[in-house]
Amino acid sequence: MKAYLPYVYMFDFIPPKRVRSVYGYGAGTVEVDVPEISLSETGLAASLEYVVDRPQQKIVVLPAEYRTWNGSLLSRVGDECVPTFKASWLPTAPDGRSRMPSAKPLYGFVMGEGELVEQRLFGHERVVIHRDPPKGNIIWSHEDRDREIVKRLAGDLVSVDGELWRKTRYAALCLDMRHREGRPLWSHFAQEPFGYLPFARNTVDQRQVTQVRKLFDVSQADRLVHHAGSLGVDRNFRSLVVHDHDALAFDGEREFIKDSMDFTVLTTENSVGEMSASAIVAWSAVRSAVERVSKTDEDFTDGEIEAFRLLATEYTGEKSDLVRESLGWCEDYLNDKWGRYGSRRDATPGVPKAGM
């Protein structure tokens, strides 16, 4: 089906007969072909009800489903107020209005301008939105950036019986380390789309920052209780049913270790010449491992993990504390009896271990 995804962007321009620049908003639409399938063609991987406790408001229970399709996970497109997003809410023509008066902003596409997009979909624009370039000199514009974001996100969409679903790389259990009003740590499900993900480690600058959270495998309900604690589970999950454990299995451990290795390689690059010969070899091995795992679905080898340990131990530069802390976080995975890496430590010494 043809879908038109609206977006609103900001720009700065100097109107005619003016000296100072002013901010303005522009609007556009991305046309995309969304595949159409039926729920009968997909298998339900998991269903859950997640409890959101909002301050000054009543508790909101959000139902969610994860279904498998062509080897990928599907999750409903929505936000905390709208658990589903109907395809009929989208405009039927470029720069047109929605067919439904109850149109909602599309979660994941609206970014920081959700209210403006919703106003545009409703057709009730309370602010001036330029559909064509304004008269005057444009200083800068975010149009290209925001249009590209929407294009990348559009490739993740699937129309399932008239509702928009999103392909995800995995459904992961995320342990939130923030304390909320003295409450214990709590857990929630996080979804990573195949296309654009805000705050992803897409640039060198972002990759040189240590990870801020860990992602855990949810293919076993025991891991949920193990990492979040029974109180956290009872508080945030009213129900959780895993229908297909294999479909929910993901490489959260490998992704986290890969990011830690990548951070270490970039951090130690300028100090390689001051290290021992064995550390230099380890640096090259870790760099090659990151490149290989980023491009394939292969697992890290035991030798690559040991090279990571050696490199982190040998490095004594300015950020050595961060490198060791990053390695320490990975050790939690490497010692996790349910993890794909920790479970391999019982193999007979000296015997090569099969990749998983």
Q: What pLDDT is attached to residue 351?
A: 32
pLDDT one-digit tens code per residue, 50-60:
776 666 667 77
pLDDT one-digit tens code per residue, 138-152:
999 988 888 888 888
Does the pLDDT of residue 69 top 90, yes or no? no
Q: What pLDDT is attached to residue 114?
A: 65
Does the pLDDT of residue 342 top 80, yes or no? no
Token code pair at residue 282: 């380890």
Residue 260 belongs to some domain of the structure: yes
Question: For the CA atoms of 180, 183, 187, 192, what is the dihedral angle to 10 degrees?
Answer: 0
Q: What pLDDT is attached to residue 346?
A: 46
Highest mean pLDDT among 94-108, 109-123, 243-257: 243-257
Alpha carbons 78 and 202: distance in angstroms, whole number = 25
Residue 178 belongs to some domain of the structure: no
Q: What pLDDT is attached to residue 267?
A: 92
Sequence-distant (≥ 6) Cβ neighbours of residue 58 within 8 angstroms: none
Q: Which of 27-36, 80-89, 139-148, 272-281 has the lowest mean pLDDT?
A: 80-89
Residue 1 belongs to some domain of the structure: no
What Cα–Cα distance (Å) separates residue 212 from each residue in 112, 209, 326? 22, 9, 10
Does the pLDDT of residue 292 top 90, yes or no? yes
- Report, as an integer, the average pLDDT of 253-274: 89
Residue 82 belongs to some domain of the structure: no
More confident residue, 209 or 305: 305
Residue 311: HSE in the Cβ half-sphere, 13 Å Cα cutoff: 32
Number of domains observed in the structure of the chain: 1
Q: What pLDDT is attached to residue 19?
A: 87
pLDDT band at residue 160 using 50, 70 and 90 as cut-offs: very high
- Report, as an integer, the average pLDDT of 223-235: 63
What Cα–Cα distance (Å) separates residue 293 from each residue in 255, 269, 352? 9, 19, 19
Alpha carbons 64 and 75: distance in angstroms, whole number = 7
Q: What pLDDT is attached to residue 221?
A: 60
Residue 190 belongs to some domain of the structure: no
Domain extent at residue 272: 251-356
Does the pLDDT of residue 12 top 90, yes or no? yes
What Cα–Cα distance (Å) separates residue 34 from each residue in 31, 156, 280, 294? 10, 9, 48, 27
Backbone angles phi, psi at 228, to 5 degrees: -100, -25
Residue 188 belongs to some domain of the structure: no
pLDDT one-digit tens code per residue, 103-132:
666 655 555 566 777 777 776 666 677 877
Alpha carbons 16 and 65: distance in angstroms, whole number = 53
Does the pLDDT of residue 352 top 50, yes or no? no
More confident residue, 222 or 255: 255
DSSP 8-class letter at 40:
G
Average pLDDT along the chain: 77
Q: What is the pTM of this model?
A: 0.69
Does the pLDDT of residue 349 top 50, yes or no? no
pLDDT band at residue 227 using 50, 70 and 90 as cut-offs: low
- Report, as an integer, the average pLDDT of 236-248: 75
Does the pLDDT of residue 273 top 70, yes or no? yes
Q: What pLDDT is attached to residue 7?
A: 84
Alpha carbons 23 and 11: distance in angstroms, whole number = 6
More confident residue, 178 or 14: 14
Element spanning 254, H or E: helix 252-268
Alpha carbons 222 and 338: distance in angstroms, whole number = 9
More confident residue, 337 or 61: 61
Does the pLDDT of residue 200 top 80, yes or no? no
Backbone angles phi, psi at 231, to 5 degrees: -65, -40
Residue 93 belongs to some domain of the structure: no
Residue 274 belongs to some domain of the structure: yes
